[in-house]
């Protein structure tokens, strides 16, 4: 048996495994894009054995494989995921999601490598970004830990570009009846030009949607509308537009308060201060909303966030114990935020931030460090890509209730009234 046949025999026995790894990455990306308000069609697959055979035979002539390990190291797209974006300008936002979700195997590859068309072409060809990633073991249940060692290729391009690339690849690289004629190649180049023009039209459409979503008296239709509005605001505030945060949580909170329109949202945006600008804008606004409510309303919203998270992060439902621990920890965190907001001077409350409050109250450095540690945990729960275990959350909630909040009250007495 040749080494190619031996590898294909081995691969066929593992085909379901590579398909499940791709599907797991697919589900994580799809859920995160929905959460961040990014419109896309996500698909996945394990490489088809017939297509793999063609690729192996071609590469074997160059690489002269000695064993199966050499082939596994060379063929990097056995598990593949395709992200087809409605709007090409969202490529950077998808990149930020992928960076947070997965362990990168190498630097992303951007196509085309140069903006100069290839000889005989008028247009630049394939425009996309390809990522090689692995699943993070801490993001997987125990039954899926074996998936973490497998490399997955994630291709990110517009819906139009993916369609053109599929046609071009099958006709040019896999011709069944000889090489394409000069006319056929010219037609493919012409279609590429139409696709590039279509991407410009999609970018214009995205800007039109942003203008519509900015109308003061019109509620946001969904998290995608809200994301378009926030991207504009983030740009004007010099905040990140590649990572605007978990928009699905924010729209749930705003709808509960009946404040899901640009006019009503602006009062929270106006409170964004210098200390907030390194964080995603949706995450910052959630904090502003919670800190501006009564304790009873804030705890109700905390329960809503907990319920939203319990629907399942990336297709993995959270158990009752985890949901309860999320609710308890968030309720204690809200109590901390409310206390800090009350203790800062009245004139500074419109632009309240925890960092400012801790400086103003002259908290002990050890206490400040503990609050920052708990803040990272809180951000992981609400905005992050994984959920800490219930024991960690319950212990953190108890620590806030019994040590941090009483210590802040004592510090406030020494500083005096705001």
Other CB atoms within 10 A of residue 142 CB: 7
C-alpha 244/C-alpha 275 separation (Å) is: 16
- pLDDT confidence of residue 340: 81
* pTM > 0.85: yes or no: no
- pLDDT confidence of residue 177: 57
- pLDDT confidence of residue 213: 82
- pLDDT confidence of residue 283: 86
- pLDDT confidence of residue 300: 81
Query: Which is nearest to 89 in space by CA: 209, 233, 194?
Result: 209
Decide: 150 and 21 in contact? Cβ < 8 Å. Answer: yes
- pLDDT confidence of residue 315: 44
Domain boundaries, the chain: 3-204, 216-415
- pLDDT confidence of residue 314: 44
Query: Which is nearest to 394 in space by CA: 305, 328, 319?
Result: 328
C-alpha 336/C-alpha 333 separation (Å) is: 5
Q: What CATH homologous superfamily does 3-204 map to?
A: Beta Polymerase, domain 2 (3.30.460.10)
Give mean pLDDT in consecutive 10-residue pieces for the chain, a chain of 418 residues: 89 95 95 91 94 89 90 92 96 93 93 89 95 91 91 97 91 69 92 96 92 83 92 90 88 93 92 85 88 80 72 52 79 83 68 70 82 85 68 91 88 63
C-alpha 159/C-alpha 388 separation (Å) is: 36
Query: Which is nearest to 218 in space by CA: 260, 266, 258, 267?
Result: 260
Angle at which helix 182-213 crosses helix 223-236, to 10 degrees, equals: 80
């Amino acid at each position: 048996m040749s080494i190619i046949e031996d590898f294909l025999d081995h691969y066929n026995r593992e085909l379901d495994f590579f398909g499940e790894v791709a599907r797991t990455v697919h589900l994580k990306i799809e859920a995160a894009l929905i959460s961040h308000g990014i419109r896309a069609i996500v698909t996945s697959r394990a490489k088809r054995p017939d297509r793999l055979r063609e690729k192996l035979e071609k590469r074997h002539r160059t690489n002269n494989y000695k064993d199966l390990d050499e082939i596994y190291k060379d063929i990097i797209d056995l598990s593949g995921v395709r992200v087809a974006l409605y709007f090409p300008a969202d490529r950077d936002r998808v990149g930020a999601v992928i960076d947070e979700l997965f362990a990168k195997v190498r630097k992303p590859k951007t196509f085309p490598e140069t903006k100069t068309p290839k000889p005989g072409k008028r247009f630049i060809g394939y425009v996309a970004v390809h990522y090689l990633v692995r699943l993070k073991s801490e993001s997987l249940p125990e039954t899926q830990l074996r998936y973490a060692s497998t490399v997955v290729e994630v291709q990110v391009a517009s819906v139009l570009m993916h369609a053109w690339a599929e046609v071009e690849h099958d006709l040019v690289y896999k011709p069944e009846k000889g090489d394409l004629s000069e006319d056929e190649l010219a037609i493919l180049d012409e279609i590429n030009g139409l696709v590039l023009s279509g991407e410009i039209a999609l970018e214009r459409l995205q800007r039109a949607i942003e203008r519509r979503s900015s109308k003061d008296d019109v509620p946001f239709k969904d998290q995608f509308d809200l994301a378009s509005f926030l991207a504009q605001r983030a740009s004007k505030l010099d905040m990140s537009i590649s990572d605007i945060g978990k928009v699905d949580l924010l729209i749930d909170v705003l709808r509960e308060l009946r404040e899901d329109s640009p006019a009503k949202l602006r009062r929270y945006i106006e409170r964004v201060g210098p200390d907030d600008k390194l964080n995603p804008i949706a995450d910052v606004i959630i904090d502003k909303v919670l800190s501006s409510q009564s304790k009873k309303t804030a705890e109700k919203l905390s329960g809503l966030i907990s319920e939203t998270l319990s629907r399942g992060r990336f297709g993995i439902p959270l158990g009752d114990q985890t949901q309860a621990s999320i609710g308890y920890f968030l309720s204690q965190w809200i109590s901390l935020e409310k206390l800090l907001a009350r203790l800062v001077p009245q004139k500074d409350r419109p632009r309240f931030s925890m960092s400012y409050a801790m400086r103003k109250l002259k908290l002990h450095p050890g206490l400040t460090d503990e609050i920052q540690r708990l803040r990272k945990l809180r951000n992981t729960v609400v905005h992050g890509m994984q959920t800490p275990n219930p024991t960690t959350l319950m212990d953190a909630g108890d620590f806030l209730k019994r040590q941090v909040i009483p210590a802040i009250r004592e510090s406030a007495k020494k500083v005096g009234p705001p």
